């Protein structure tokens, strides 16, 4: 009887510790997470770029914009750095259909490209800003799951991965410009 009690106690502790760890990636650990953006480009967190991944919902698009605005100037137009915005579409968006949601997303990308192009022009970067915008639409939760987002969670997250996929930092809210710059240097 005593052995059964110990077994149940240990099993419960292991289950609870696993449940508490779910939904978070570990800083310092390498992850090779693959994405395909809305233009069909294959991207990965371990392909030689320093990658900022913003996991958001359509309702929180403004937070993703703020993160983009806080990316330091030394990253702009620099092929060593990139930002991938993952839009996790939830139930009510699925009702309008993938095609309509994707078309709406493409329109928003064009608008953001104009804003980014103004920053490029101010920095005298002669490059098409739209080619540096990567957006992934996640209708079935596959990408959110790769990022260890708990099923059904609607949290906004920002993750920064090093060139080999090492998770350098993560936030549950919009990081400050200084926080972001400190990690990206």
Q: What Rg, from alpha-carbon coordinates, does the chain have? A: 19
pLDDT digits (tens, 9 = 90+) for 35-45: 999 999 999 99
Structural class in CATH, domain 25-184: alpha beta
Prediction pTM value: 0.82
| Mean pLDDT, range 78-95, rounded to an integer | 83
Domain boundaries, the chain: 25-184
User: Given pLDDT bands bounded at 50, 70 and 90, which one contains residue 166?
Assistant: very high
Q: 98 CB contacts (<8 Å, ≥6 apart)?
A: 137, 139
pLDDT of 95 above 80: no
Q: Which of 45, 32, 52 is nearest to 179 (CA)?
A: 52
| Two tokens, residue 29 | 């650990």
The kind and range of the H/E element at 44 are strand 42-44
User: Given pLDDT bands bounded at 50, 70 and 90, which one contains residue 13?
Assistant: very low
DSSP assignment letter at 167:
E
pLDDT of 152 above 60: no
| Two tokens, residue 95 | 């009702």
Question: How far is 32 from 65, CA to CA, in rounded Å?
Answer: 25
Q: Which of 76, 55, 41 is nearest to 149 (CA)?
A: 55
pLDDT digits (tens, 9 = 90+) for 107-143: 999 999 999 999 999 999 999 999 999 999 998 888 8
């Amino acid at each position: 009887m005593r052995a059964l009690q110990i077994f149940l106690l240990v099993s419960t502790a292991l289950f609870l510790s696993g449940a508490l760890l779910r939904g978070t990636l570990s800083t310092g650990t390498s992850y090779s997470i693959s994405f395909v953006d809305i233009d069909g480009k294959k991207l990965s967190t371990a392909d030689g770029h320093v990658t900022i991944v913003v996991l958001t919902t359509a309702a929180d698009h403004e937070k993703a914009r703020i993160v983009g605005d806080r990316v330091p100037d030394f990253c702009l137009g620099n092929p060593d750095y990139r930002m991938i915005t993952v839009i996790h579409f939830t139930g009510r968006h699925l009702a309008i259909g993938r095609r309509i949601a994707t078309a709406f997303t493409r329109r928003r990308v064009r608008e953001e490209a104009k804003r980014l192009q103004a920053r490029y022009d101010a920095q005298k970067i002669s490059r098409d800003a739209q080619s540096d915008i990567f957006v992934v639409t996640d209708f079935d939760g596959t990408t959110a799951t790769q990022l260890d987002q708990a099923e059904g969670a609607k949290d906004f997250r920002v993750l920064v991965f090093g060139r080999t996929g090492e998770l350098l930092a993560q936030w549950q809210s919009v990081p400050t410009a200084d926080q972001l710059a400190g990690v990206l240097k």
